[in-house]
Amino acid sequence: DAGVIQSPRHEVTEMGQEVTLRCKPISGHDYLFWYRQTMMRGLELLIYFNNNVPIDDSGMPEDRFSAKMPNASFSTLKIQPSEPRDSAVYFCASRVVSEAFFGQGTRLTVV
């Protein structure tokens, strides 16, 4: 297995634009997590899914953020409209039993 795959690796966008981050979890993993990492706040859990169902989205900062998992092999995190303070590295992780595997992250810069 290639591990958790995130795309794009880097994204630069203008304020107000819609941004979509993508994640392909490891096959067979039943949990999927989205995290955001910034210097100021460290790693924050945004939302996680179990068997494609959102379980806890209390970490999603505001309504501009939304996440979906239409099937077991794909998830998206969308920001609309984007703002400069959304600039961060966004990580996706998938998990089975007790161990989570992380993707390489998407570095988002909103200018």
Calculate the CA dihedral of residues 20, 94, 45, 56 and round it to 10 degrees.
90
Judged by beta carbon, residue 7 or residue 81, the one nearer other proteins is: 7
DSSP state, residue 101: E
Count residues near other proteins (CB under 8 A). 22
Residue given tokens 């460290």 in the structure block: 42
Task: Kindly indicate which of the ranges 16-24, 44-52, 69-77, 80-88 contains the residues binding other proteins, using the contact rule CB under 8 A.
Answer: 44-52
Residue 9, token pair as written in the block: 């690796």
Q: Figure out which of the listed residues 13, 45, 52, 81 binds other proteins, where binding follows CB under 8 A.
A: 45
- The piece of 13-21, 41-49, 69-77, 80-88 that touches other proteins (CB under 8 A) is 41-49
Nearest to 78 by CA among 88, 68, 69: 68
- Whole-angstrom distance, CA of residue 34 vs CA of residue 49: 9
Is residue 99 involved in binding other proteins (CB under 8 A)? yes
Residues at the interface with other proteins (CB under 8 A): 31, 33, 35, 42-45, 48, 50, 55-56, 91, 93, 95, 98-105
